[in-house]
Structure 1
Amino acid sequence: MKYDQLQNFVGGSFTKIASDRTIPVISPVDGTLLTEMPCSTAADLDLAVQAAKKAFPAWSRTPVKERVQVFFRYKFLLEQNLETLAGMISAENGKTYAEAVQEVEKCIELTEFATSLPQLITGEVLEVSSGVECRTAHVPIGVVASVVPFNFPAMVPNWTIPNALTLGNCMIMKPSEKVPLSVGLLATLLKEAGLPDGVFNIVNGDSEIVNAICDHPDIEAVSFVGSTKVAKVVYRRATQNLKRCLALGGAKNHLLVLPDAKPDMTAQNIAASMSGCAGQRCMAASAMVGVGDVDHIVARLCEEAKKIVPGKNLGAVINKDAKIRIEQYITEAEKNGARILVDGRGAAVPGKENGTYVGPTIIDYVTPDMSVAKEEIFGPVISILRTSTVDEALDIENASPYGNAASVFTQNGSMARYVAERASAGMIGVNVGVPVPREPFSFGGWNESKFGVGDITGKSAIEFWTKLKKSTTKWNPEEGVNWMS
């Protein structure tokens, strides 16, 4: 193994897990064994929760201007350890090193936003009557939990870590069993930055730990990022146990392409969107809806896709099961009458034959009833559907149960606005293939791409990670009492 057997991080130190069950962590890059992850039990989770409960009183009473100093230092440490963290991300997730570097850079941006929180949670104060003052304050909610996915081993954890902790909470994080290494390095950097013991804890495991998190009486809130199927289960179970929950699910993002779109820019954006992180991101272009004659743009898209080479500028998919599933989607579409313009099946990288690669794939003449048109493939695959009008294209987009993102490519401003106002998605792009909002704007979709109120990043996260305390004070009895006092 390249790394020692994984341990939980509880109360400020790494601790062994007494478990009979282990899960091998295999690198998708070349199939090597990176480490083994013992599966924690509900008792292991409780140890972490008790450590967080012990740390919470002192941490929550620490002034936010002092709490945030930890994250100034943490941001510096992310910058100092960028190469190490990026290498670990690439090894365990399979994305290219360049993509891993970009992921760490996004972690730095997320932390930078958290350092602005003291200026964003100042509360309000108003003299509502003579000598009577009403005041609001955002206060932490307690011990919280974050369940994170495999596709962004460091970025998605940093969607929650800086904000939730700066706002005064203590956290239990459950990493994906497929990519558990990077979160451990984040814990080390947080401790080095001066985070008090017990404020951040890691509990490794599988679905047993997710269920235990949803059931634990001392966990006040749960954030989750993963598939829609599991997001629904987590949301229902957590809220049934009277916890607040924000659960982000899957996506089927539609890119509407009009004939007047700039061919080169459109093709480059769509190719990058479909293939970035091997298509394993909820903001990936998954379905292109061509309106009218867009053959010239499709031809350019194929040219761009052929420049994307597995093992060079295209990373691996997460494991063999994912590779088989993605290739089955392509084969099924072909059998059902779709035309494969660029075929990524059977991809292999010399010297890395045990890696799990799928090449860029473009499927044309897809019909709305096909699986590749409706389901999240989570691979470097894009389906092209054809329509005559923008309204027909919008009907296809709006019929999807998901609602994460949608984009339109056109040079017509009024048409762009028409689509943006009518697309049923929480994040909209105009001539942008991956319309992820930058901080302080928040990340979050609609419909079956998100369950719960609010978004997971940006200013919207403040409402999820805090509760509002309202205080009314009066110190002047000589003024008497009226209906406002």
Structure 2
Amino acid sequence: MKYPLVQNYINGKFVNAGTGTTLPVISPLDGNLLSVVPLSATADLDQAVEAARAALPVWSRMPVKERVQVFFRYKTLLERDLQQLASLISEENGKTIGESVAEVEKCIELTEFACSIPQLVTGEILEVSKGVECRTERVPVGIVASIVPFNFPAMVPNWTIPNALALGNCMIIKPSEKVPLTLAKIALLLKEAGLPDGVFNIVNGDHTIVNAICAHPSIHAVTFVGSTKVAKHVYRQATQQLKLCLALGGAKNHLIVLPDAKADMTAQNVVASMSGCAGQRCMAASAMVAVGGVDHIIQKICDEAKKVIPGTNLGAVINKAAQQRIEQYITEAEQQGAKILVDGRKAVVEGKEDGSYVGPTVIDFVTPGMAVAKEEIFGPVICIMRADSLDEAISIENSNIYGNAASVFTQNGSYARYVIERASAGMIGVNVGVPVPREPFSFGGWNESKFGTGDITGRSSIEFFTKLKKSTVKWNPEAGVNWMS
């Protein structure tokens, strides 16, 4: 075992969970045992909540300009330890080092936005009558919880950590039991940056802790990122307890490719989108709608896909179970009549035979009713469906239950605007394979890709993590009583 036993992080200290039940943390790169993670009990969550409750009065009343000083220092520490964090992400998640570096760089950008929050929450004040002022100000929600997935061990936690804390909340976070090591390192960086004890806490575990978070009476808001099935469960459980909840689910992102698209640029973007992070991201392209005569572009996509080599510029999928599930999707599509143009099944990396790898896979002549066309594969696989018109392509895109992202590849501005206006997705790209908005623009999908109001990052997150307080003040007794009194 390369690393010590994973511990919970409560009130500024790493502590053992109150249960002896654990799971192994296996590196998908080579199958080696990295550590073991505890499956905490509800009593462990209670300890974290008590620590947050004790820290909240001082932290929430601290001026926001003082709170964000922690995140100026945290940003510097992320930059200092970028390579160390990237190595850890790669080990426990399976990403390439380059992808892991990019993930930490995104954490830095997210933190930069949090540092700007004092300029975004200044409130409003107006003299509404002679000597009478009305004022608004944003105050923290209280104790918030984030439940985060395995595919981005650093970035997704940092979707919420800097903003929620800079806005004055205290936090409990539950990492995926598959990748708990990176978040423990982040806890150390936050402490080094000067974050007071109890403001940020980690409770490791499985569905027991997820359900306990949703039910805990002292947790006021919950965010979740993961599959749609679990997102629905978390949203229902949390809102049933009258909590604020924002739950992000799965995706089936469609790329619409028109005949006038730049062939080389399109092929590079499509392959990068479908194979980046081994396809294990909710913004990955897993469905392409080819409109009319685009066979020359499909050939270039295949050529580009063959340049993506497992273990070299393609990372591992999270575990053997994921590998088997992804390969089953490919096999089933082939059995149903689809044509495998590039086959990533049975990928093996020399010297890492126990790793979990799937090569880039391109499947043509897929029909919308096939499972590979409807369900989230979460692997480096793209299925190609054929359409005779742009309207038919949009209809195919809009018929899927998800609504995270969609892109169109064209050199025609009117076609691009046509897709932007009609595609049923929260994030749209034009000649962009992964249309993730950059800060301060917020991240969030539609339909069965998101449950709750608002988005999880950017300006939209400020409304989720704060409450609006309104005050009316009168200092002129000589004005007497009027209709406002």
Output the aligned Cα RMSD. 0.5
8 Å contact kept, 1:78–1:108: yes
Q: For residue 480 of structure 1, report the CA deviation from its aligned partner.
A: 2.5
Q: Secondary structure at the match of 2:304?
A: helix
2:334 is equivalent to residue 334 of structure 1: yes
Amino acid in the other structure paired with 1:316:
A
8 Å contact kept, 1:256–1:290: yes
8 Å contact kept, 2:427–2:444: yes
Q: For residue 249 of structure 1, report the CA deviation from its aligned partner.
A: 0.1
Amino acid in the other structure paired with 2:378:
F
What TM-score, normalized by structure 1, do the two folds share? 1.00
Q: For residue 17 of structure 1, report the CA deviation from its aligned partner.
A: 1.3
Q: For residue 20 of structure 1, report the CA deviation from its aligned partner.
A: 2.6
Corresponding residue for residue 117 of structure 1: 117
Deviations 1:410-430 (A, max 9, x none): 000001000110000000000
2:202 is equivalent to residue 182 of structure 1: no
Tell me how far apart the structure 1 counterparts of residues 127 and 424 of structure 2 sit (CA, whole Å): 42
Q: Secondary structure at the match of 1:254?
A: strand
Corresponding residue for residue 386 of structure 2: 386
Corresponding residue for residue 359 of structure 1: 359
Deviations 1:443-484 (A, max 9, x none): 000000000000000000000000000000000011223324
Tell me how far apart the structure 1 counterparts of residues 124 and 290 of structure 2 sit (CA, whole Å): 49
What TM-score, normalized by structure 2, do the two folds share? 1.00
Tell me how far apart the structure 1 counterparts of residues 471 and 68 of structure 2 sit (CA, whole Å): 24
Amino acid in the other structure paired with 2:252:
K
Corresponding residue for residue 133 of structure 1: 133
Q: Secondary structure at the match of 1:414?
A: helix
Corresponding residue for residue 252 of structure 2: 252
Q: For residue 81 of structure 1, report the CA deviation from its aligned partner.
A: 0.4
Tell me how far apart the structure 1 counterparts of residues 18 and 135 of structure 2 sit (CA, whole Å): 49
Tell me how far apart the structure 1 counterparts of residues 296 and 483 of structure 2 sit (CA, whole Å): 72
Corresponding residue for residue 207 of structure 2: 207
Corresponding residue for residue 105 of structure 2: 105
Amino acid in the other structure paired with 1:153:
P
Tell me how far apart the structure 1 counterparts of residues 18 and 407 of structure 2 sit (CA, whole Å): 48
Q: Secondary structure at the match of 1:223?
A: strand
8 Å contact kept, 1:263–1:300: yes
Tell me how far apart the structure 1 counterparts of residues 38 and 69 of structure 2 sit (CA, whole Å): 34
8 Å contact kept, 2:18–2:43: no
Deviations 1:122-145 (A, max 9, x none): 011111111110000000011110
Corresponding residue for residue 14 of structure 1: 14
Corresponding residue for residue 481 of structure 1: 481
Amino acid in the other structure paired with 1:150:
F
Q: For residue 285 of structure 1, report the CA deviation from its aligned partner.
A: 0.4
Q: For residue 38 of structure 1, report the CA deviation from its aligned partner.
A: 1.2
Tell me how far apart the structure 1 counterparts of residues 127 and 448 of structure 2 sit (CA, whole Å): 43
Q: Secondary structure at the match of 2:483?
A: coil
Tell me how far apart the structure 1 counterparts of residues 480 and 413 of structure 2 sit (CA, whole Å): 61
8 Å contact kept, 2:407–2:432: yes
> Where in structure 1 do 4 or more consecutive aligned residues deviate above 6 Å?
none
| Larger deviation, residues 69-78 vs 11-20 | 11-20
Superposed counterparts of 1:142-161, under 5 Å: 142-161=142-161
Amino acid in the other structure paired with 1:469:
K
Give structure 1 stretches of 5+ with no counterpart: none
Superposed counterparts of 1:364-375, under 5 Å: 364-375=364-375
Q: For residue 19 of structure 1, report the CA deviation from its aligned partner.
A: 1.3
Superposed counterparts of 1:46-445, under 5 Å: 46-445=46-445
Q: For residue 13 of structure 1, report the CA deviation from its aligned partner.
A: 0.6
Tell me how far apart the structure 1 counterparts of residues 149 and 331 of structure 2 sit (CA, whole Å): 27
Amino acid in the other structure paired with 2:253:
N
2:450 is equivalent to residue 450 of structure 1: yes
Q: Secondary structure at the match of 2:458?
A: coil
Tell me how far apart the structure 2 counterparts of residues 195 and 104 of structure 1 sit (CA, whole Å): 20
Tell me how far apart the structure 1 counterparts of residues 198 and 330 of structure 2 sit (CA, whole Å): 47
Amino acid in the other structure paired with 1:138:
R
Amino acid in the other structure paired with 1:41:
A
Q: Secondary structure at the match of 1:369?
A: coil
8 Å contact kept, 1:8–1:15: yes
Tell me how far apart the structure 2 counterparts of residues 132 and 304 of structure 1 sit (CA, whole Å): 67
Deviations 1:363-391 (A, max 9, x none): 00000100010000000000000000011
Amino acid in the other structure paired with 1:405:
A
Deviations 1:253-279 (A, max 9, x none): 000000000000000000000000000
Amino acid in the other structure paired with 2:23:
I
Amino acid in the other structure paired with 1:291:
V
Tell me how far apart the structure 1 counterparts of residues 290 and 232 of structure 2 sit (CA, whole Å): 32
Q: Secondary structure at the match of 2:402?
A: coil
Query: Would you say how many aligned residue pairs link Structure 1 and Structure 2?
Result: 485
Tell me how far apart the structure 1 counterparts of residues 404 and 141 of structure 2 sit (CA, whole Å): 28
Q: Secondary structure at the match of 2:403?
A: coil
Amino acid in the other structure paired with 1:482:
N
Tell me how far apart the structure 1 counterparts of residues 433 and 4 of structure 2 sit (CA, whole Å): 39
8 Å contact kept, 1:128–1:484: no
Q: Secondary structure at the match of 1:459?
A: helix
Same amino acid, percent of matched pairs: 76
Corresponding residue for residue 32 of structure 1: 32
Amino acid in the other structure paired with 1:391:
D
Q: For residue 21 of structure 1, report the CA deviation from its aligned partner.
A: 1.1
Q: Secondary structure at the match of 1:35?
A: strand
Q: Secondary structure at the match of 1:289?
A: strand
8 Å contact kept, 1:279–1:379: yes
Q: For residue 252 of structure 1, report the CA deviation from its aligned partner.
A: 0.1
Q: Secondary structure at the match of 2:448?
A: helix
8 Å contact kept, 1:289–1:385: yes
Q: Secondary structure at the match of 2:314?
A: coil
